[in-house]
Amino acid sequence: MTARALDGRAVARQIYDEIEEAVRERVSRGGTRPRLATVLVGEDPASAKYVELKQRNARNVGIDSEDHRLPAQTTTEELLALTQRLSGDDSVSAILIQQPTPKQVDIHRVVLALDPVKDVDGFHPVNAGLLALGLRGGVEPCTPAGIMELLRRSGIAIEGMNAVVVGRSNLVGRPTALLLLRGNATVTLCHTRTRDLGSHTRTADILVAAAGRVGLITKDMVKPGAAVVDVSTNWEGGRQVGDLGKGVEEVAGWLTPNPGGVGPMTRAMLIKNTYEAEVRRRDGPSN
């Protein structure tokens, strides 16, 4: 068996096309154009590249953007002041604070200062709480939401399936498990300290690897025909790799390339969240 690719780039293009059409229709009806504000603290090249990509993605679908660059020595209070100003700015639909921030910044305080509706990453406790309670109307984290969208648009059944998520971070693992549960999968949440990890992963119709450990999931730990989503970004020998060992593609039925699987979906969902933030704050919640 050779796994079929879960092509994040192709699905992301579908989403961009849909958002571009939605923005065009909204503006043609006299509605407001969404606006994304990005904030980057410091000069980390990778973070700067990510921000540039997100800005470009926004512009390509007709969403306005503004970019705020702060020096590496920025204090928590200084970042808080900008965050509060953007939260109160009626022209701003959504706010992205690129992480990680420098060590002296208390990012938790900054996230709390965000208007939850404008929290494009879905990190604010209000949004996280709505997700944990199984309630709709909040902002879903971009990577977990991207995983779900990739599975659905690739024709992968979720309801009634056994899903195993390996990784318990608040950014990816936990919210992914909650979204799969909302989709009526039977979910097991594992991590790097799970005893006999393979005994769990071999039951998975859907396996999400998000632990951040190179080679953690070997091919003998994968159920034949499973849909395997490799979320992690690890670096080995100067190249990006995930959590999967060699040969998983020989067992899995579906598999995300890494890179090219989940990463493009994360950026696409950020743009989708920006559009939906504008709709939600102007027109009220749609769900």
Q: Which residues are catalytic?
A: 54, 98, 121
User: How many C-beta atoms surround the C-beta of residue 193 within 10 A?
Assistant: 7
User: How distant, in Å, are the alpha carbons of 58, 108, 140, 158 from that of 52?
Assistant: 10, 24, 22, 34
String of DSSP letters for 197-214: HHHHHTT-SEEEE-S--T
Closest CA to 140 of 130, 150, 152, 153: 130
DSSP strand pairing (4-5 vs 254-255): parallel
**Helix segments in the chain, DSSP class H:** 8-28, 45-60, 76-88, 107-113, 125-132, 142-153, 173-182, 197-201, 262-283
DSSP strand pairing (234-236 vs 239-241): antiparallel
User: How many C-beta atoms surround the C-beta of residue 74 within 10 A?
Assistant: 18
DSSP single-letter state for residue 101: P
Closest CA to 98 of 117, 115, 116, 79: 79
